[in-house]
Amino acid sequence: MAAKKTKTKKTDYSVLLLQLAWACGILICAVLVSLLSMISLELGLVAATLIAAACFILPGGVKALKGRKRQAVAEKASYEPSGVAKVLADMQDRQDRMSASLQKHTQELADLKTSLAEIEVAAKTALQKASMPPPVVPAPVERIVPTQLRARDVAAPVAAASSKQAVRPPPPAFPANDEDMDVDSAQMSDLVVRELLHAAVEARKIEAFMQPIMKLPKRQMAFYEVFARVRAKPGLYLPAERYMPIAVQEALMARIDNTLLLHSLFLIRKDRDKPGGPNGFFLNISPRILKDRHFMNDLLRFLARNRKLAPLLIFEMTQTEFFNVSVSEHKILEALGKLGCRFSLDHVAEVPGNVMELQDRNVRFIKISVSAFPDAKGSARQVADIAAKKRALEEAGIDIIAAQIETEEDLRGLLDYDLQYGQGYLFGKPGIHGRYRVQNAA
């Protein structure tokens, strides 16, 4: 038999004290009644009556006190949770924690499945690429200029048959002058030049030649102007005067301009952070390329993401073309100006006086042939007029570049005009990129 559990009752000292006080009171009342009876029988009866009434009232009070005590204990017990309630509460808490943990592990399992699916797709793609023939090593501009900036109508180079064919030969040594680099195109028929031109455009054999623009009078290199040359074979190039008429007939000038611009962007990114580098690059831009809306939109997006390149770009147009562009072409030029690009006017016959208009359209350079400047010893009025227009242009942030300086005599004739910049064969002919940097380093 199971042993009976005995419960020990806690002693209620308040009830014991009340009973003791009651007994003492009865004793004292008995003594008091006896004393009063000795004095007067009436007083003794009154005292005895009161004591008897008290004997009936006090036990009821004790019972009432005990009842209240039990009620308080019962009420307190009702507010405290029982053992079963505690167990249920603990079980509910554990269930809530298990539910939260299960939900977390379910999410992690779903993420793991997604990662495995991505790895499987990447593995399949890698296997497909591994089974394809190796592509041609891209030209440097392909690695620098993003895809969206490339000319859309220029075909990609044909893939090489083997990895050995994809290796580019070392670049030829720099020739002594421009004549050594020009192929004897006079002996070539238009058919041959046309075939060479198409092959060069398709294979992107359009090279960027550079001519320095000097800071006067110290003859320090300040800018480069970039020209396009069509490669006939390694180290030899078609001169512009030979291929340009045929390029216009074959509608290839836009593709040539686009490819030249891409090469120029690559060279600018390559040289911009080098010490002693140029302060900007002059790039010829024509209405043909401005009409290529897709290409120009891609160019604007590219310059918006590469804001440091924009101040180095100086787009050059003839004075006639610049002031006769359409409304849509003008908006493109305006957008280029807002990005930080500058503009230069070429083939300017005389020093212009519309300074405010030039400044508003972000023109910062004007090229004027050295022949447009009269001898300082000649007409003093003409010299003074040119000097006044020059000061107005410089105050508006527009500099004059004296072009076609070929002899020391040409340069001496410009000293009295205090021009800031000069360009011509006297300072250097257009050469392949790096030619002037190598010569200066030597």
pTM as predicted: 0.57
Residue ranges making up the domain that contains 435:
142-160+175-441
The DSSP result for 288-320, as a single string, is HHHT-HHHHHHHHHHHHH-TTTGGGEEEEEEHH
Residue 402 lies in a domain: yes
Say how many domains are in the chain. 3
Domain identity same for 182 and 299: yes
Domain identity same for 295 and 201: yes
Q: What is the pLDDT of residue 341?
A: 94
Domain identity same for 341 and 227: yes
The DSSP result for 173-193, as a single string, is PPPSSHHHHB--GGGS-HHHH
The one-letter code for the residue type at 96 is D
- What's the whole-number average pLDDT of the chain? 75
Strand locations in 159-290 (E): 206-215, 220-233, 236-238, 281-284
- Burial per residue of 340-358, b for 16 or more beta-carbon CB atoms within 10 angstroms, e otherwise: ebbbbbbebeebbeebeeb
- Select from 411, 347, 364 the least CA-distant residue to 216: 411
Rounded to a whole number, what is the largest CA-CA distance in the chain? 170
CA 231, 233, 237: angle at the middle one, nearest 5?
40
Domain identity same for 37 and 62: yes
Domain identity same for 125 and 153: no
Is pLDDT at 432 greater than 60 in this prediction? yes
Residue 4 lies in a domain: no
Q: What is the pLDDT of residue 78?
A: 55
Domain identity same for 248 and 102: no
Domain identity same for 359 and 214: yes
289 burial level (CB within 10 Å; 0-12, 13-18, 19+): buried
Q: Tell me how far apart the alpha carbons of residues 431 and 175 are, in angstroms, rounded to a whole number.
A: 9
Domain identity same for 127 and 193: no
Domain identity same for 317 and 194: yes
Q: Which residue's entry shows tokens 């294979």?
A: 203
Is pLDDT at 157 greater than 80 in this prediction? no
Is pLDDT at 8 greater than 80 in this prediction? no
Residue 89 lies in a domain: no
Domain identity same for 404 and 362: yes
Dump pLDDT digits (tens) for 184-199.
Answer: 556 678 888 888 888 8
- Cβ atoms of 396 and 355 closer than 8 Å: yes
Domain identity same for 120 and 225: no
pLDDT greater at residue 63 or residue 198: 198
Token output for 435: 């030619």
Residue 62 lies in a domain: yes
Domain identity same for 226 and 349: yes
pLDDT greater at residue 402 or residue 201: 402
Residue 6 lies in a domain: no
Region of poorest pLDDT, from 43-47, 80-84, 192-196, 255-259: 80-84
Token output for 188: 């070539």
Residue 328 lies in a domain: yes
Residue 7 lies in a domain: no
Residue 168 lies in a domain: no
CATH of the domain at 288: 3.20.20.450
- Select from 131, 17, 15, 135 the least CA-distant residue to 64: 15
Region of poorest pLDDT, from 77-91, 195-209, 238-252: 77-91
Is pLDDT at 63 greater than 80 in this prediction? no
